[in-house]
Structure 1
Amino acid sequence: MTKYNWGLIGIGTIAHEMADALNAVNGEVYAAANPHEDKLAAFAKAKNVQHAYTDVNAMINDPNVDVIYVATPHTFHYDYIKRALNAGKHVFAEKAITVNAAQFDEVAQLAKDKGLILTEGFTLYHMPIYQKVQDLIASGQLGDIHLVQVNFGSLKDYDPTNRFFNKDLAGGALLDIGGYATAFARTFLDKQPNVALTTVKFFETGVDEQSGIILKNDQEQMAVMALSLRAKQPKRGVISGTKGYVEIDNYPRATEAKITYTPDAHATTTEIISAGSEELALNYEVADMQRYIDQGHDDGQLVLSGAVSHILDGVRNQWGMRFPEDSSN
């Protein structure tokens, strides 16, 4: 695997984790950008950053930067992704990759036109356990997959000024945590859903506080999702087939899956499979991104992100919840 120079935009919590991963995989963080000079200097010192930029454009245009990592609030992703792609850089963007599907379709096409890799930071795309689960399903041991159930509940402090609840920053459960649940569901559905049934509870700022979502595709496979920003739930996914089911706890960074085989109503057997380490989740992301660049394609991850983006748009449209970025679409 070739080592590439990464430039980080944003120095928040997830950027600290990514910097640790880059140091572990590449031995350094090539560059980081933030307009606050004191905070940037502290981050650079703590995270072995070789080049610090208070001007984001200067970092994007640094000829030695190969990959731009975007770790800002959702509403800034689209602009930074376009700038980076137009500068000839590969891009790894945190979820949600864009605020809406129209933005996604534009940057995905731009990446394709430029021959560049664009990837979204869903850790479950990169955790090794998922390849084992996919192989199990492909073997037919679970039979035909009929149903996926997935939850994500996060208990955020009551604070209408926080970005989680800020409509101008594309807040709400759907974009903040719902992408993970939707990515899990879509991974194990054979086709894109064409039916969505949903109900929502809004927070006082007008963003979604919690919701229930049912998806169905034309193969009659279904996914049932529950999301909340004000009620803790286990991060749990279940994939159910005609011969058994798989339970995956902490699915965004899962390392284990419990399989229950149900050949008939009265006899079951179980097994546990495991792979990977939760602590290495972002290391896997870095390694996969660099492998994608080496091989010239992303193993279909951007297509999956596009499917998720369009599902999220369809759900929001039913709620009538629009962000400022939607006005031009």
Structure 2
Amino acid sequence: MIELQWGIVGLGGIAHSFAENFDQTTSKLTACASRTLEKAEEFARQYNLPKAYGSYDELLADDDISIIYIAVPNRQHHQHIIQALEAGKHVLCEKAITMTLAELQSAIELAEQKQLILAEAMTIFNMPLYHELHALMDSGRLGDLKMIQAPFGSYKDPDPTNRFFNPELAGGALLDIGTYAVSFARWFLSEQPEVIASTMIPFSTGVDEQSVTILRNEKNELATVSLTFQAKMPKKGIVAFENGYLTIDEYPRADKAELFFNDGTTELIESGFSGNAMNYEIENMVKMIQGELPNKSLFFTKDVIDILDQMQQKWQRTQ
């Protein structure tokens, strides 16, 4: 079997985490690209990569590279996804995978046409714990799902020039931390919800700084998503069923959950290891390319981007 080789597009902070934690067992990280050769060569030296390119086009022209990991700012995701797919590369793109559902749909159509794998680097869809919890739900032990709470608060230095608040770089809480909260909710909901209500308070630059959203689907399952960039909140997800409820601390990369039944009994569910979060994404991407795993995560990703679209449409009508 041909060994799959990865190349990185965009060399910011998340790319450093990706390269630093990359497990070379199932595939190899061999190349990186930046807009300047000097920066690419520095990155390659730091992580012992044999190839460095001073343009993204040069990386895409490398026939040895099968998979592109995209780590550029959000607004540039769609452009680079399309270019990589056109070049015949499989794509793992950082969250949020695209700015809009229309962008994602065009990328999915191209990936299907080219018979390539397109996936989002969303930890929640790859952590072993979440697959175990889904199996628990399917077993019927918990009864019907009733309600989900997904808060995420992160304090960011209120500097209008940094990427978190810069509209030119698609700043704002929703496309950064909000993707985790909405992905958490969608993973447990039995079907796609509608945004019933959503209110947002903007930062001085106009991007969303905090918001509260209510989701409901046709089975009357409810979820609340609370986001802020100017206050810390514990990343503690709660999933409530007829027979008990789950609490999941640090839910973006969780490896354990507590189950509380109505009769007072409890269980601790542990699966995976939070420190391997990125490698679960890498391992699953390789399995999907090799045909060992269906690309189910893209189904959830598409639903999440649809929810983000609905939220932003609500805000545009009320601002």
Report the TM-score, using the length of structure 2 for normalisation.
0.96
Deviation, 1:112, is 1.2
Where structure 2 has 5 or more consecutive residues not aligned to the other structure, the ranges are: none
2:313 corresponds in structure 1 to 317
Q: Structure 1, residues 75-111: CA drift from partner, whole Å, max 9, x if none? A: 1110100001011110000001011111011101111
The residue that corresponds to 2:51 in the other structure is 51
Can you list the C-alpha shifts for 1:30-63, whole angstroms capped at 9, x where unaligned?
1100023332222101112111000101111211
Alpha-carbon distance in 2 for matches of 1:44, 1:138 = 45
1:178 CA displacement: 0.5
Shift of 1:3: 3.7
Contact 1:145 1:242 in 2 (8 A): yes
Q: Which of these residues, 264, 270, 273, is aligned with residue 269 of structure 2?
A: 273
CA contact (8 A) 2:26 2:286 kept: no
Q: Which residue identity lines up with residue 92 of structure 2 in the other structure?
A: F
Question: What SS does the corresponding residue of 2:219 show, helix, strand or coil?
Answer: coil
Counterpart-to-counterpart distance in 1, 2:314 and 2:38: 44
Q: Secondary structure at the match of 2:164?
A: helix
Aligned-partner Cα distance in 1 for 2:70–2:298 = 16
C-alpha contact 1:11 1:43 (8 A) present in aligned 2: yes
Q: How does 1:222-237 map to 2 (within 5 A)?
A: 222-237=222-237
Mapping of 1:250-329 within 5 angstroms? 250-262=250-262, 267-295=263-291, 298-320=294-316
Q: Map 1:31-110 to 2 at 5 A.
A: 31-110=31-110
CA distance in 2, matches of 1:162, 1:14: 16
Residues 2/122 of structure 1: CA separation in 2 closer, same or farther (3 Å cut): farther
Question: Which amino acid in structure 2 is aligned with residue 159 of structure 1?
Answer: D
Deviation (angstroms), 1:23:
4.5
Displacement of 1:297: 5.7
Give me the whole-angstrom Cα distance separating, in 1, the residues matched to 2:233 and 2:37.
38
SS in 1 for 2:8: strand
- Residues paired across the two proteins, number: 317
| Aligned alpha-carbon RMSD (Å) | 1.5
Alpha-carbon distance in 1 for matches of 2:23, 2:292: 24
- In 1: Cα distance, 2:177 partner to 2:225 partner: 11
Post-superposition CA distance 1:166-213 (Å, at most 9, x none): 111111000111111101101111111124211111000000000000
Q: Structure 1-normalised TM-score?
A: 0.93
Distance 1:125 1:63, change over 3 A: same
Question: Take 2:234 and 2:23, find their aligned partners in 1: how far apart are those partners?
Answer: 31
Rounded to whole Å, the distance in 2 between the matches of 1:55 and 1:36 is 7
Distance 1:35 1:295 in 2: 34
